[in-house]
């Protein structure tokens, strides 16, 4: 049964590195632990809020508590040497400036932009690159509104972590609602725009409206769905209930659905606890009342949700609330990956066990999925073919639409954690998309949809696309 929510309002209060002493004490951490937390938080982004701290984290379970692991950077997330460097500097009372400089160096060694997000996928308009947009798949454009590049709280494993640690030159964002509208008006192949970040819902409703309203015009009839990638329903559900501009946000949602479009909140839920509070349940109900749908996604993360029971609970609760399970992701190769990573074989086992425990209504979920350079790669299963154990993989989203839904095989490897660890099965020399990856590496640039600066020549890897 869904509990009836009587939500009391709460004023948003963020806690960052500067508040670590106070919240460390509140959580019962020792002075040593607080010092360590301070040292790590120069390198990895840290931000929690009063709701996460008071309603989601179970103090008595710290440090194993999954929500604590999800939001508080840990010493083991850094290489031992890097951690020692930072800890010594903090102990010696180094200046903020020196600490940040040392941290910056460490951050750069942590693959801040996996799968070439910075230089790949960027589309052009009138010969000019649009850095706040990504157009990797024909039907879907990703948009990073510049005011939405932060979150109500930070996840320690976030693959967009480099956006939050003050490294401005690493940030990709666009200020231009107008450019977005113009780009989309020109690109009638696009049916779905996905606002992402950070979290677009940290923006004031009035700012979000400036981006969304122009897309509801007659010029954009091909745009049949608007998606918003967000963690707000989990980390700050008051965004949909008692925040000063919550009602304005819901009115904007209604405007979208009344325009005849699908509005999907791509809500990020990592643990069932994020759905159990009255505040969280009220948020989902209020979103639904606008005609919008909630679709859910999250990566499998060691120490947070690496168990079949957790995922079965998560999906069941989502379905109970009317949300639609969408993706179970594999953690990307960035940031503190070693700390959180789960081998593909293990992720698959978790997925399958959880999948078997839920009804068909929850089996809208697909996973485990890697969002990699050629596209979204689904680990479909493990099979034995002619005496060889193989991973059965499927490209469920692809740079080249003719590859979508194509199945391929990799040699089974129980330790592999990402696509790059895998080798083709049956003695093949390469995967079918490897020529594309070579081309991308050579040019340091991938063909993005709508990118007319690609030289006019025969591109065999995109054989089915008319570039000429």
Q: Exposed, middle or buried, 320 (CB in 10 Å: 0-12/13-18/19+)?
A: middle
Nearest by Cα to 449 from 396, 378, 394, 397: 397
Question: Please, what is the minimum distance in Å from the beta carbon of residue 160 to ligand PLP?
Answer: 12
Single out the segment in contact with ligand PLP by CB under 6 A; choices: 15-23, 54-62, 88-96, 135-143.
135-143
Between CA 296 and CA 442 the distance in angstroms is 36
Nearest 5 degrees, angle CA 22-CA 25-CA 30?
Answer: 130
The radius of gyration of the chain from alpha carbons, rounded to an integer in Å, stands at 22
What is the three-class DSSP state of 453? Answer: coil
Asked if 56 touches ligand PLP (CB under 6 A), the answer is no
Question: Please, what is the minimum distance in Å from the beta carbon of residue 295 to ligand PLP?
Answer: 9
Q: Indicate left, alpha or beta for 109 from its phi (over 0: left) and psi (-120 to 50: alpha).
A: alpha
DSSP lists the bridge partners of residue 410 as 391, 424
Q: Which residues contact 438 (CB under 8 A, 6 or more apart)?
A: none
Question: Please, what is the minimum distance in Å from the beta carbon of residue 397 to ligand PLP?
Answer: 4
Take residue 289 and report the two structure tokens written for it.
């009342």
Question: Please, what is the minimum distance in Å from the beta carbon of residue 365 to ligand PLP?
Answer: 12
Asked if 187 touches ligand PLP (CB under 6 A), the answer is no
- Complex with ligand PLP: residue 50 or 140, whichever CB lies closer: 140
Question: Please, what is the minimum distance in Å from the beta carbon of residue 144 to ligand PLP?
Answer: 11
Between CA 399 and CA 240 the distance in angstroms is 35
Question: Please, what is the minimum distance in Å from the beta carbon of residue 459 to ligand PLP?
Answer: 20
Question: Please, what is the minimum distance in Å from the beta carbon of residue 446 to ligand PLP?
Answer: 11
- Complex with ligand PLP: residue 107 or 397, whichever CB lies closer: 397
The secondary element (H helix, E strand) that includes residue 383 is strand 375-385
Single out the segment in contact with ligand PLP by CB under 6 A; choices: 64-72, 96-104, 133-141, 305-313.
133-141
Single out the segment in contact with ligand PLP by CB under 6 A; choices: 27-35, 43-51, 90-98, 129-137.
129-137
- Complex with ligand PLP: residue 303 or 376, whichever CB lies closer: 376
Binding letters toward ligand PLP, positions 143-162, x by CB under 6 A: --------------------
Between CA 208 and CA 200 the distance in angstroms is 8
Asked if 140 touches ligand PLP (CB under 6 A), the answer is yes
Among 317, 397, 398, 417, binds ligand PLP (CB under 6 A): 397
Question: Please, what is the minimum distance in Å from the beta carbon of residue 196 to ligand PLP?
Answer: 9
Chain position carrying tokens 């979290």: 199
- Complex with ligand PLP: residue 192 or 290, whichever CB lies closer: 192
Among 20, 40, 78, 142, binds ligand PLP (CB under 6 A): 142
The phi and psi torsions of 201 (rounded to 5 degrees) equal: -85, 5
CA atoms within 13 A on the CB side of 396: 17
- Complex with ligand PLP: residue 137 or 339, whichever CB lies closer: 137
- Complex with ligand PLP: residue 335 or 374, whichever CB lies closer: 374
Question: Please, what is the minimum distance in Å from the beta carbon of residue 32 to ligand PLP?
Answer: 40
Chain position carrying tokens 């006019």: 456
Single out the segment in contact with ligand PLP by CB under 6 A; choices: 136-144, 247-255, 280-288, 434-442.
136-144
Among 10, 38, 136, 394, binds ligand PLP (CB under 6 A): 136
Take residue 147 and report the two structure tokens written for it.
């005011």
Q: Exposed, middle or buried, 430 (CB in 10 Å: 0-12/13-18/19+)?
A: exposed
Single out the segment in contact with ligand PLP by CB under 6 A; choices: 70-78, 132-140, 285-293, 415-423.
132-140
Asked if 134 touches ligand PLP (CB under 6 A), the answer is yes
Single out the segment in contact with ligand PLP by CB under 6 A; choices: 134-142, 209-217, 239-247, 281-289.
134-142
- Interacting positions 322-381 with ligand PLP (CB under 6 A): 371, 376
String of DSSP letters for 225-274: EEEEEESHHHH-GGGGTTSTTHHHHHHHHHHHHHTT-EEEEEEE--SGGG
Residues binding ligand PLP (CB under 6 A): 134, 136-137, 140, 142, 194, 371, 376, 397
């Amino acid at each position: 049964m869904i509990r009836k929510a009587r939500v009391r309002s709460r004023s948003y209060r963020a806690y960052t590195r500067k508040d670590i002493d106070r919240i460390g004490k509140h959580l019962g951490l020792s002075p040593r632990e607080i010092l360590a937390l301070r040292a790590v938080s120069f390198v990895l982004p840290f931000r929690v809020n009063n709701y996460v701290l008071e309603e989601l984290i179970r103090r008595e379970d710290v440090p194993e508590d999954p929500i604590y692991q999800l939001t508080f950077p840990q010493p083991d997330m850094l290489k031992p040497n890097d951690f020692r460097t930072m800890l010594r500097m903090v102990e010696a009372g180094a200046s903020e400036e020196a600490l940040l400089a040392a941290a910056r160096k460490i951050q750069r060694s942590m693959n801040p932009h996996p799968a070439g997000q910075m230089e790949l996928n960027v589309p052009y308009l009138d010969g000019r690159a649009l850095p706040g947009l990504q157009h990797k798949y024909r039907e879907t454009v990703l948009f990073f509104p510049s005011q939405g590049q932060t979150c109500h709280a930070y996840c320690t494993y976030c693959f967009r972590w480099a956006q939050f640690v003050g490294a401005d030159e690493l940030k990709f964002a666009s200020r231009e609602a107008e450019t977005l509208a113009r780009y989309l008006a020109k690109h009638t192949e696009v049916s779905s725009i996905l606002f992402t970040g950070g979290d677009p819902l940290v923006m004031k409703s009035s700012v979000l409206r400036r981006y969304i309203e122009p897309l509801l015009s007659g010029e954009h009839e091909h745009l049949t769905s608007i998606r918003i990638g967000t963690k707000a329903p989990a980390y700050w559900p008051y965004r949909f209930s008692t925040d000063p501009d919550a009602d304005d946000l819901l009115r904007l949602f209604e405007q979208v659905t009344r325009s005849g479009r699908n509005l999907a909140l791509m809500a990020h839920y990592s643990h069932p606890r994020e759905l159990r509070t009255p505040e969280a349940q009220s948020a989902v109900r209020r979103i639904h009342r606008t005609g919008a749908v909630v679709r859910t996604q999250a990566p499998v993360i060691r120490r947070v949700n690496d168990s079949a029971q957790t995922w079965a609970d998560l999906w069941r609760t989502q379905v109970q609330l009317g949300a639609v399970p969408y993706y179970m992701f594999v953690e990307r190769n960035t940031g503190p990956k070693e700390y959180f990573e789960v081998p593909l074989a293990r992720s698959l086992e978790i997925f399958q066990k959880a999948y078997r425990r839920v009804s068909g209504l929850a089996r809208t979920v697909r996973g485990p999925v890697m969002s990699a350079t050629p596209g979204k790669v689904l680990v479909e299963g493990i099979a034995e073919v002619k005496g060889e154990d193989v991973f059965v993989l499927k490209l469920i989203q692809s740079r080249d639409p003719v590859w979508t839904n194509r199945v391929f095989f990799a040699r089974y490897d129980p330790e592999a954690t990402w696509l790059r660890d895998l080798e083709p099965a049956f003695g093949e020399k390469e995967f079918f998309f490897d020529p594309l990856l070579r081309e991308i590496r050579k040019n340091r640039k991938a063909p993005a949809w709508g990118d007319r600066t690609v030289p006019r020549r025969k591109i065999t890897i995109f054989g089915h696309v008319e570039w000429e």
